[in-house]
Structure 1
Amino acid sequence: MGTVTLGVSIAVPEPYGSLLQERRAGFGDAAAHGIPTHVTLLPPTEADASALPVVEAHLTRVAAAGRAFPMRLSGTGTFRPDSPVVFVKVAEGGAACTQLQQRVRDASGPLVRELQWPYHPHVTVAHGIAEEAMDRAYEELAGYEAEWTCTSFALYEQGADGTWRKLREYAFGGGPAVPSLPAQSTPVDEPAATPY
């Protein structure tokens, strides 16, 4: 069956998701339209396609043990010079994201992996573009604010075209995912690069 590239993330709901995606594209980030706006819980990870049922069962258990929590985005930050990324900061909900990503990558589950950098919840708005455009993203979104109640996370797969598509959403507490705001639609006809 081969391998698949998976990612797990918290979607930034509408109207915030599309707005930040359009701003990212406007800064010249060609990957923007293939990446729904998100907070990463598991960065791109290769897995055997036959392991998907085990992965989904694991994520179902992680979600069942979770509870909804407030998320608030505020202002910008950057990982430069270590990594060419400008992001919107997670001002509230970061501790819950940190615990959640630890459970997703738990040693007893199928998604065990080391991270290249210490986990830092954020929403990427520019990645690998010209320094001047990175500076513009940092400055223009410095006053950005958004808040919502996070009720779920989702499993995504990166297609051969580079676009990330949602495979399944996992609601906290084991119930159906009922977003407090509508989910962002995903354009599928635009090429994209590595997302997280």
Structure 2
Amino acid sequence: MGTVTLGVSIAVPEPYGSLLQELRAGFGDPAAHGIPTHVTLLPPTEADPAALPAIEAHLTEVATASRPFPMRLSGTGTFRPLSPVVFVQIAEGAAACSWLQKRVRDASGPLVRELQFPYHPHVTVAHGIAEEAMDRAYEELADFEAAWTCASFALYEQGADGVWRKLHEYAFGGGIASVPAQGTPVDEPATAPSAATS
């Protein structure tokens, strides 16, 4: 059967999610429309499809033990020259993201894995594009601000077309998630970013 490529992330809600996605596309990042705007908790990870029920049970457990927390984005940062990434910084909520990603990758669960780099929560807005375009992303979003209450994370699968699609959303404390689904031009017209379903 092969494997599936999974990821776990916190969605950046509307209107910020679609705004940052469109800006990322405008900077020339070809992956922009296949990646909903997010904060990664588990980077792309190969898994056996048969493990999905155990993975979903594990993520439900992590979410149930979690509580909503304030998230605030402010300004830009970069991992250059180590990695060709420009991102929007997390000014509030980083510690909670770090706690969550440790639980998602916990050695007792089905998603245990090592990270290529130390975990640093962020929202990517440019990756692997021309240096001039990376500089423009860094400068144009230097004053960007957004804030919301984070109440969930989601499991995503990357399709053969490279597009990430949400499989399931996990609300904290067993409640109801409050972040509307973020559409992409692949799934929905760009004029209706909040109309996507999963």
Q: How far is 1:60 from its partner?
A: 0.2
Structure 2 Cα separation of the partners of residues 178 and 128 of structure 1: 32
After superposition, where does 1:167-182 map in structure 2 within 5 Å?
167-179=167-179, 182=180
2:111 is the counterpart of 1:111: yes
After superposition, where does 1:1-196 map in structure 2 within 5 Å?
1-179=1-179, 182-188=180-186
Q: TM-score, normalised by structure 1?
A: 0.94
Q: How far is 1:56 from its partner?
A: 0.2
Structure 2 Cα separation of the partners of residues 29 and 186 of structure 1: 14
The alignment covers a number of residue pairs equal to 188
Q: Which amino acid aligns with 1:92?
A: E
**Deviations 1:145-184 (CA, angstroms, capped at 9, x unpaired):** 00000000000000000000000000000122233xx331
Percent identity, please.
85
Unmatched 5+ stretches in structure 1? 191-196
C-alpha RMSD of matched pairs (Å): 1.1
Instruction: Point out which structure has higher relative CO (alpha carbons under 8 A, 6+ apart).
Output: 1
Structure 2 Cα separation of the partners of residues 176 and 94 of structure 1: 22
SS of the residue corresponding to residue 71 of structure 1 reads strand
SS of the residue corresponding to residue 173 of structure 2 reads helix
Q: How far is 1:189 from its partner?
A: 6.1
| Alignment match, 1:194 | none
Say if 1:165 and 1:186, in contact at 8 Å, map to a contact too. Answer: no
Dislocated runs of 4+, deviation >3 Å: none
Say if 1:14 and 1:184, in contact at 8 Å, map to a contact too. Answer: yes
SS of the residue corresponding to residue 88 of structure 1 reads strand
Q: Which amino acid aligns with 1:95?
A: A
Structure 1 Cα separation of the partners of residues 114 and 186 of structure 2: 30
Structure 2 Cα separation of the partners of residues 178 and 40 of structure 1: 18
Say if 1:12 and 1:183, in contact at 8 Å, map to a contact too. Answer: no
Q: Which amino acid aligns with 1:56?
A: E
Q: Which amino acid aligns with 2:10?
A: I
Q: Which amino acid aligns with 2:56?
A: E
